[in-house]
């Protein structure tokens, strides 16, 4: 499972959009998240959420506008998704909130305070989106 | 010919002889013919903020419960509101946060996988129950406080009042979910110390609503938001993880309202800044006492350590690290709200390893 691929995030989006019932209980979420993976070759993707859907997955640059960004080494992201696939959902310190709270492997940042707040306000939606990796046949 | 002209034949008295008033049909001055367009999710409060219905006056002409935009009787009763300036209660994100709150309500009965609770080691269960005891106690202040002030808010600020209603519901659910967690896994409610109540009383007794908001939303709820974030990190099972994440979302909305309200208040009435600082001078010292109280700090350290064995070598160091993050978050929120505390706070920044430049950068970004 290679997580630094647009196709990987497209698969997560398809999974989310195929199962709005999972997100219905959480309610609408409007946010844009920039996911940045640093490594030999950096990878950046912008994921847009509208209501109960993932509205878009786009190749992006780390300084592109978004509500907030999540920046970490590719290995940290790989470990997070490996944990999700292994357990069916993020466990232990591998939830996105835990990782961002500790901030040493994946950090949450942003220039708009209200945008940054959305990381907490829509956190369960974001976690559910990432947990989708366990439910979909992600491309190798 | 207008449609109202066709109503000239309507009677002046009822069949019982009582006088009738058809003014609402013939001559109301309120705006007619608005056609707000529903957004894809439905008709939101943002969608209907059109024409004069969407204009929130800086100083409302009436102090009645008449809906904003209606044609109000000049001799309508004064409800005794004392918060009659928009800057007293308003935040630019009020409508958005209200819609978000309504859309993201959840049930502590249905949406927590209670059936997945596992038997925990005795020390960890005790620590979780102690944390839940404290949270059950402190959460309802964020319901009681808005309730204390809402009936004094001018009704033209209806969206702010509606948002605070959602906050009250959120806090009821938080008290519910932590009480349920404390009682549901073989433990129970443990110790309540005076420190919690001192903090709550300080918030409750704030002299103005803006001071109350600074103490509640910015300081108190900001602190609890970080406890929720931390709680999700240290939760022993998926059940607690889910509880803390769901509560975190609600709490973040409340903090977002408070931060933006204070910003609005200071921008429109700079004199209010000193009033806020005075409240926070006192509030910070009480909060530090609360945060370092032996019961909550030990319970958190125990959970962070995963049990008694590593409470000293792992629990307390991690607790210290997270405490630094809590105060960093709080000070950054103050910057965003336009109330920089860096020159005034008595929080020991150096001791906690907080870099003031990082905090200033957060404010500059805002």
Interface confidence (ipTM) of the complex: 0.89
- Asked if residue A139 has pLDDT above 50, the reply is no
Rounded mean pLDDT, B50-67: 94
pLDDT band for position A45 (cuts 50, 70, 90): very high
User: How confident is the model over B81-99, as pLDDT tens digits?
Assistant: 999 999 999 999 999 999 9
- What's the confidence (pLDDT) of residue B5? 59
Closest CA to A113 of B325, B259, B118, B269: B259
Cα–Cα distance, B244 to B178 (Å, whole number)? 9
- Asked if residue A140 has pLDDT above 60, the reply is no
pLDDT band for position A138 (cuts 50, 70, 90): low
- What's the confidence (pLDDT) of residue B294? 79
- Asked if residue B366 has pLDDT above 60, the reply is no
Residues of B in contact with A122 (CB under 8 A): 249
- Asked if residue B28 has pLDDT above 90, the reply is no
Nearest to A97 among B229, B255, B325 (CB): B229
pLDDT band for position B27 (cuts 50, 70, 90): confident
Rounded mean pLDDT, B260-286: 95
In Å, how far is B336's CA from the nearest CA of chain A?
Answer: 7
The alpha carbon of residue B207 and the mean position of all alpha carbons in its chain are separated, in whole angstroms, by 18
Task: Please return the burial class of B118, using the count of CB atoms within 10 Å of its CB with bins 0-12, 13-18 and 19+.
Answer: exposed
Alpha helices in chain B (DSSP H): 23-26, 86-89, 94-103, 122-139, 141-150, 158-184, 194-204, 209-213, 221-234, 238-268, 272-291, 294-305, 316-337, 349-352, 356-365
- What's the confidence (pLDDT) of residue B365? 54
B248 and A114: CB-CB below 8 Å?
no
B249 and A121: CB-CB below 8 Å?
yes
Per DSSP, the residues of B248-267 read HHHHHHHHHHHHHHHHHHHH
Q: What percent of chain B has pLDDT over 70?
A: 97
User: How confident is the model over B247-263, as pLDDT tens digits?
Assistant: 999 999 999 999 999 99
Average model confidence (pLDDT) across chain B:
92
Count of A-B CB contacts under 8 Å: 78
pLDDT band for position B1 (cuts 50, 70, 90): very low
Residue of B nearest to A94 (CA): B233
User: How confident is the model over A70-80, as pLDDT tens digits?
Assistant: 999 999 999 99
- What's the confidence (pLDDT) of residue B168? 97
Average model confidence (pLDDT) across chain A:
93
Nearest to A123 among B238, B248, B362 (CB): B248
Q: Which two tokens stand for residue B63?
A: 């102090």
Domain B92-365's class?
mainly alpha
Rounded mean pLDDT, B226-234: 90
pTM for this model (two decimals): 0.93
Could you give all domains of chain A from N- to C-terminal order, each with its CATH number?
A: 6-134 (3.30.1050.10)
Reduced to 3 states, what is the DSSP secondary structure of residue B74?
coil
- Asked if residue B4 has pLDDT above 80, the reply is no
A113 and B365: CB-CB below 8 Å?
yes
Rounded mean pLDDT, B44-71: 94
């Amino acid at each position: 499972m290679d997580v630094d691929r647009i196709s990987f995030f497209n698969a997560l989006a398809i999974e989310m959009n195929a199962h709005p019932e999972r997100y219905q209980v959480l309610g609408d979420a409007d946010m844009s998240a920039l996911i940045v993976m640093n490594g030999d070759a950096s990878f950046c993707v912008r994921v847009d959420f509208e209501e109960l859907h993932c509205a878009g997955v786009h190749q992006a640059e780390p300084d592109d506008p978004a509500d907030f960004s999540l920046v970490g080494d590719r290995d940290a992201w790989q470990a997070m998704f490996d944990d999700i696939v292994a357990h069916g959902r993020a466990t232990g310190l591998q939830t996105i909130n835990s990782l961002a709270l500790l901030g040493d492997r994946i950090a949450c940042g942003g220039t708009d305070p209200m945008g940054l707040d959305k990381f907490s306000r829509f956190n369960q939606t974001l976690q559910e989106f990432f947990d989708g990796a366990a439910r979909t046949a992600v491309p190798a | 010919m207008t449609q109202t002209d066709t109503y000239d034949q309507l009677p002046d008295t009822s069949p019982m002889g009582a006088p009738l008033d058809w003014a609402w049909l013939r001559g109301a001055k309120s705006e007619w013919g608005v056609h707000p367009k529903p957004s894809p999710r439905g008709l939101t409060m943002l969608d209907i903020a059109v024409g004069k219905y969407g204009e929130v006056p800086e100083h409302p002409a009436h102090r009645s419960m008449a809906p904003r935009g209606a044609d109000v009787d000049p001799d309508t009763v004064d409800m005794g509101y004392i918060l009659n300036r928009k800057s007293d209660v308003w935040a630019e994100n009020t409508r958005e946060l209200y819609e978000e709150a309504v859309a993201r309500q959840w049930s502590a009965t249905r949406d927590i996988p209670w059936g997945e609770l596992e038997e925990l080691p005795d020390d960890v269960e005790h620590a979780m129950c102690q944390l839940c005891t404290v949270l059950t106690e402190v959460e309802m202040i964020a319901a009681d406080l808005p309730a204390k002030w809402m009936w004094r808010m001018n009704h033209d600020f209806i969206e702010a009042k509606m948002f605070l209603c959602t906050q009250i519901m959120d806090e009821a659910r938080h008290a519910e979910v932590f009480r349920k967690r404390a009682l549901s896994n073989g433990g129970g409610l443990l110790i309540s110390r005076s420190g919690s109540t001192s903090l709550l009383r300080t918030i409750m007794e704030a002299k103005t609503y803006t001071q109350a908001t600074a103490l509640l939303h910015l300081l108190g709820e900001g602190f609890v938001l970080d406890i929720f974030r931390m709680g999700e990190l240290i939760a022993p099972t998926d059940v607690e993880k889910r509880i803390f994440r769901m509560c975190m979302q609600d709490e973040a909305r409340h903090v977002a309202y408070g931060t933006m309200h204070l910003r609005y208040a200071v921008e429109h009435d700079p004199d209010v800044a000193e009033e806020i600082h005075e409240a926070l001078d006192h509030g910070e010292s009480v909060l530090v006492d609360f945060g370092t109280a032996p019961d909550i700090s030990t319970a958190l350290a125990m959970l962070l350590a995963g049990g008694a064995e590593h409470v000293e070598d792992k629990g307390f160091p991690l607790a210290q690290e997270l405490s630094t993050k809590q105060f960093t978050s709080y000070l950054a929120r103050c910057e965003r709200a336009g109330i920089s505390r860096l020159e005034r706070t008595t929080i020991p920044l150096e001791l906690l390893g907080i870099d003031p430049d990082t905090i200033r950068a957060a404010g500059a970004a805002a």
